A and B are shown apart, each in its own frame.
Chain A
Amino acid sequence: MKRLSVRTYHALFVTPALVLSIAIVLLPALLTFGAAFSNWDGVSAPSFAGLNNFSSLFADPVFWTAIANNSLWTVIFLTIPMGIALLAASLLMRRQRASAAFQAIFLLPYVLSPVANAMIWQNIILSPVSGLLGFVSKNVLPLQSPLTQPETALYAVAAVDIWHFWGYLTVVFFAAMRQTPEEQLEAALLENASGWQVFRFVTLPNILPTLGLMLVLVTIFSFLTFDYIYLITQGGPARATEMLSTYAYKFAFTSFQVGKAAAVALVMCFFGLIASVVYVRISRASLEL
C-alpha cells in the first residue's frame, strides 16, 4: 500500500474543523446575504425582493431607535467599564500579593451565565416588590424600578451587563500591565513619580496594544449585544431598549419575516466588520503571518 504524503495527512487534519465551520457558519452566512434581498418566511420558497427589505427598514423609526440605542450602548461600554477596569488593574499592580484573590472575586460575575445574572438582578435587586430597590423604596425613599421607565431602562440593563463584564477587562489589563519591564517601574519609583504619572508614562504606553484590541472588541460586541437586553426587558418598555439584535430576532421568530431579519443582521455585521478589519490588522502582526 502506498503511504500517504505528509502533506495529505496535514490536509486531512484541518478538514474536520474546516468542514464544520463552513457548514455551520460560512454557508448559512452566505444564505443570510441571499435572504436579505428576498421575501422569505423561513418555510416556503423565497422570492427576489431587491432592496425592499432595506428600504422598509430605513423607513421604520424603530430601526433608527435601535441604531441609536446600540450607539449609546457602545459609548457607555467604551467609557465606564474601561475606566473602572484601568483603575482597578493599576491599583492591583501595587498589591501583587493580594492580586490573585482580587482577580478571582472580580471575575466571578463574568463566569456566571447571563440567565442567572439577569434573573438575580431582576428579582433580588431591581424588583420593586422583592428586591433591594423595593426594600429601600419602602423604608428610606420611594423609588420606581428603573426597568419600567423608558428614560432609565437602558441604563439599568447596561448596569447589569457592566457588573458582569468589568472584571474580565480588569483581568486582561492587569495581565498586560504585569508585562511592563521591571526597570521602567523602578526608574519611575526613583523619580518619585505619582500614581497617575506611573500610569500615564509607564503602564499606559506598555498596554496600548491590549487597550486598542479591547476597544475594538467592545465596539464589535456592543453592536451585537443581545443576552441581557432580551432577558431583562426584551427591548421594552416602549422600545426604549430595542437593539438591532432584538429587533432582528423578533422579525425572524415572531413575525417570520426572515428577509428583514437577515437585512438587519447585515447592518449589525457592517458595524462589526469595520471594527473586525481593524482587529485583524492588529492581530496579523502577532500571528507571524
Chain B
Amino acid sequence: MRSASSALSRPLANAFLAGAVLVALLPLLLVVINAFKPHAAVVANPLSLPASLGPDNFVRAWSGGKFSIAIVNSLLLSGTTVMVTLACASLAAFALARRKIAGWQFITVYFLCATTVPIQLFLFPLYFIYAKLGILGNFAGTALILSAINLPISIFLLRAYVLSIPQELDDAAFMDGATPFQTFRHVILPLMRPGLITVAIIVFLNSWNEFLITSTFQKGRDNITMTLGYLSMNGTYATDQGALMAGAFILIAPVIVLFLVLQRFFISGMTAGAVKG
C-alpha cells in the first residue's frame, strides 16, 4: 500500500515544487527578457527572447526614473536609518537584557507592543507635525521615522545576542575598572557582531523597499527615492514597456544579488522571533 501511494506522491510533490519555483521566478524572468526588447516586441509577445542585448532601454529608464538623484537619496535615507537604528537598538538591547534599571519589564512590554503597532496609528498627526516643522522631504527626518519603526524588532534580535553573553564578562570588566559604556563598547559590541550585521541588512532592506512612509514624507522632485522614481514612470511610460522593465531590472537586480550573497543573514533575521522552540 505504502509503496503504491508514495510512488504516486513523489512525482506529485516534485510537480508542486517545480510549479512553485516557476510561479516565483516567471515574473522576474519576464522582467529580464523584456528589459532588452523594444516596446513593439514586448506587446507582440512578452515571452519571446530579445533579439539583441542593447542598453537603450536602460538609458531611458535611468533618466525616466530620475535614478541619478534617486540613488543618492535612497542611500542617504537607508544608510541613516541603519546607523540610527543600530546605535539606539544595541544600547537598549544591552540595558534591557541586563535588567539593572527599574521598570525594565515595562519598557520591554512597551517595545513588544511597538513591534506590531500599525503605522496608521501615528502617521496622520506625525505628517502634520513634520509639515509644521518644515521637515517634509528631509531624508534625516524620514530616517528617524523608519528607525523608530525598525527599533523594536532590532532590539529583540540584539537582546537575544546579549542574553547569550555571560554576565561574568561584564563583572570581570567592572573589576578591571571599566565603566559600563567601556564594557558595552569593548566587550559586548564585538560579541554581538553577527547580530549587528543581521540587523543592518534587514533594516537596510526594509527602508530601501518601504513605501507608505517614504511616499508620504519624501515629497518633492529632489527628494525622491529609487522606488518613488520608478513609480513616477508608471503611466507616462505605458507605451515604452521595454524601459519600464529595464527600470524594474535596475531596481531589483542589486537587491537580488545582495540577497543571494547574504542569504544566511536575511533568513536568520526574517525568521527571528517567528520560530518558537
Contacts and interface: CB of A to CB of B under 8 A. Distances in A.
Interface stretch (B41-49, B51-59, B192-200): B41-49
A213 B274 CA distance: 7
A20 B27 contact: no
Interface size on B, as a range, is 35 or more
Interface string A260-289: 011011101100100110011011101101
B270 A16 contact: no
B108 to A, nearest CB: 6
Overall SS of chain B's interface? helix
A280 B114 CA distance: 11
Interface of A: 3-4, 6-7, 9-11, 13-14, 16-18, 20-21, 23-26, 28-29, 31-32, 35, 42-43, 84, 87-88, 91-92, 94-95, 100, 102-117, 119-125, 129-132, 134-135, 163, 167-168, 171-172, 175-176, 179, 192, 194-195, 209-210, 213-214, 217, 220, 224, 226-227, 230-231, 245, 248, 252-253, 258, 261-262, 264-266, 268-269, 272, 275-276, 279-280, 282-284, 286-287, 289
Q: Can you list the 5 inter-chain pairs with the closest CB atoms, starting with the nearest?
A: A113-B209, A24-B148, A209-B276, A31-B125, A9-B180
Given A124-B34, A130-B241, A109 B24 contact: yes
Contact of A6 (B105, B152, B180, B245): B180
B121 to A, nearest CB: 5
A117 B27 CA distance: 9
A104 B262 CA distance: 11
Given A175-B271, A253-B216, A10 B100 contact: yes
Interface in B17-44: 17, 20-21, 23-25, 27-28, 30-31, 34, 39, 42-43
B112 interface: yes
B275 A179 contact: yes
A4 B117 CA distance: 35
B112 A283 contact: yes
